Amino acid sequence: MKKNKRTIWRGELTTTGKLARRGWLFMSPGFFWICFFLAIPCLVLVLVSFCQREAYGGIDFTFTGENYSRLMGFGGLLGWTPDYIMILGRSLLTAAITTFFCVILSYPIAFFIGSRQGNSKYVWLTLLIIPFWTNLVIRTYAWFLVLAPEMPPARFAAWLGLIDHGAALYPGTFAVYLGMVSTFLPFMALPLYASVEAMDWSLVQAAQDLYSRRTRVFRCAILPQTYPGLSIGIVLTFIPCMGMFVVPDMLGGAKYMLMGNLIQQQFGVSRDWPFGAAISFFLMTITLVALIIIRKKGLKHL
């Protein structure tokens, strides 16, 4: 739109310059809002991650890579410590395991809803959508009630000798995974369902007619067709999982720290913003890498 040419656009005789000006008039408030409060702050965050912390929690703008070497475990009182790397590794592991369970649980429910007809389909779909919109804090603390010592799950575990009598099933790794999987399951199941709905069942039929084993039917006829939904589901599960801090904070107890908790701690009690920014930047990088990998893989399958 360099030249100011006369043009006809959707029934209007106008010039390209006029159109561009009008278009920007519509876009600029929202566009600049996102730039000003998200895009630029993210860049500032990267900048801050190379700064130092002032004595009272402010930011000292002398550039250093200290925050990153600290994240990799150097520069502590005892030389090298694996503490932060452990947290990063645990975040990746938790996100991977949660995603895995979400995938396993999402397939049956996606196929089930896909097989329903008419109104009953909408009822089941709405049942899946409601937890998706329910407040995270409520959903997380609700597990306190289910896992409380008086309730059947904890009693059963005590009867099996897994925990002491009168103990609760939280806080701990098990409770964190329960909370994580139940939080992210709808994020996986809904896009997967959308893919199942668009599936061409004659391919599955053909595979069965040609005596494929069930695993082969799934791998060659179902998986490639559901890949678009699956990849969106993985993005929606894996990435927020890495930055999650509510669930591990409430259900994991003091010892169960993930990257999200570490960031929250730096911006909260520790008031070490440069270090928090460094962890955030690390998380951003992982997010981008994950997005790129999934996009590449998705193209291969199409």
- Find the binding residues for another protein in span 112-171 (CB under 8 A): 112-115, 122, 124, 126-131, 133-139, 141-146, 148, 150-151
Q: Between 23 and 82, whose beta carbon lies closer to another protein?
A: 23
Stretch of residues binding another protein (CB under 8 A), selected from 64-72, 108-116, 157-165, 220-228: 108-116
User: Interface with another protein by CB under 8 A: which range of 16-24, 65-73, 225-233, 292-300?
Assistant: 16-24
Binding mask 68-87 for another protein (x = CB under 8 A): --------------------
For another protein, the closer CB: 68 or 245: 245
Question: Both tokens of residue 80?
Answer: 């090298």
Question: Backbone phi, then psi, for 76, in 5-degree steps?
Answer: -80, -175
CA dist 117 → 28, 112, 154, 190, 194 (Å): 45, 10, 39, 17, 15
Q: For another protein, which is the closer residue by CB, 76 or 108?
A: 108
Cα atoms found within 13 Å of the Cα of residue 239, Cβ hemisphere only: 18
Task: Report the residue number, 88 or 185, with the smaller CB distance to another protein.
Answer: 185
Q: Which is nearer to another protein, 227 or 267 (CB)?
A: 267
Mapped onto helix, strand or coil, the DSSP state of residue 8 is strand
Token pair 């600049």 in the structure block, residue = 32
* Element (DSSP H or E) covering residue 214: helix 214-216
| 3-class SS letters over 268-300 | CCCCCHHHHHHHHHHHHHHHHHHHHHHHHHHHH
Check binding of 96 to another protein (CB under 8 A): no
φ, ψ dihedrals at 35, nearest 5°: -60, -45
- Residue 50 or residue 273: which is nearer to another protein going by CB? 273
Residues 234-263 that bind another protein (CB under 8 A): 235, 239-240, 242-246, 250, 260, 263
Extract the tokens encoding 90.
Answer: 């645990």
Q: Which is nearer to another protein, 41 or 82 (CB)?
A: 41
- The SS3 assignment for 204 reads helix
Spatial contact of 188 and 236, defined as CB atoms under 8 Å apart: yes
Q: Show the binding pattern over residues 31-70: x = contacts another protein (CB under 8 A), - = does not.
A: x-xxxxxxxxxx-xx--x----------x-----------
248, 265 Cβ separation under 8 angstroms: no
Q: Does 291 bind another protein (CB under 8 A)?
A: yes
177-206 residues in contact with another protein (CB under 8 A) are: 182, 185-186, 201
Q: Can you tell me which residue has the tokens 């008039």?
A: 25
Shortest distance, position 77 Cβ to another protein, whole Å: 26
